[in-house]
């Protein structure tokens, strides 16, 4: 799918969250997320939407869920094929922002992955999918420490296929 990106913050063992909460609250990562996704459609599952608690401002909020979700300023799709057809009509970059099932569904379709890689681990019950890093160009966008937590924000861009 053209212009599809994934954005996430993961621990060194690919942990994403525990009990429907993010593992890490790293302000520079949250600022990067906001600056990168503002003005673009964001796609999330219902658990991610509930954990955020509201539509994200300055973005088209799209939810893929089997459940009915009644909230202003969101679009809800009940199956992936309908969501994919809609995403194909949108210009510009589109972001998958969670959770794990959406990351799994779209990891092989995304052109870019924006991953904040934390150099630590915490107990987790949801994980980012493993992927073949050799299929991507890797660019470090930021490398820093926040409140004792060392992290890098990495942009992985899919290499062109020679098929």
pLDDT in tens, the chain (163 residues): 789 999 999 999 999 999 999 999 999 999 999 999 999 999 999 999 999 999 999 999 999 999 888 888 899 999 999 999 999 999 999 999 999 999 999 999 999 999 999 999 999 999 999 999 999 999 999 999 999 999 999 999 999 854 4
148 φ, ψ (degrees, to nearest 5):
80, 0
pTM greater than 0.85: yes
Measured distance CA(104)–CA(127) in Å, rounded: 10
- Report domain 4-158's class: alpha beta
99: preceding bond cis by omega (within 30 degrees): yes
């Amino acid at each position: 799918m053209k212009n599809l990106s994934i954005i996430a913050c993961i621990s060194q063992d690919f942990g994403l969250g525990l009990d429907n909460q993010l593992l890490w609250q790293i302000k520079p990562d949250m600022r990067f997320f906001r600056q990168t996704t503002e003005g673009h459609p964001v796609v999330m599952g219902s658990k991610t939407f509930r954990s955020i608690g509201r539509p994200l401002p300055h973005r088209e909020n799209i939810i893929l869920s089997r459940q009915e979700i009644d909230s202003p300023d969101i679009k809800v799709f009940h199956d992936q094929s309908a969501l994919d057809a809609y995403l194909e009509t949108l210009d510009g970059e589109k972001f998958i922002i969670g959770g794990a099932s959406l990351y799994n569904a779209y990891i092989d379709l995304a052109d870019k992955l924006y991953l904040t890689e934390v150099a630590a681990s915490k107990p987790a019950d949801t994980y980012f999918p493993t992927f073949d890093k050799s299929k991507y160009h890797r660019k470090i966008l930021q490398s820093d420490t926040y409140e004792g937590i060392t992290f890098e924000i990495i942009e992985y861009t899919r290499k062109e296929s020679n098929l």
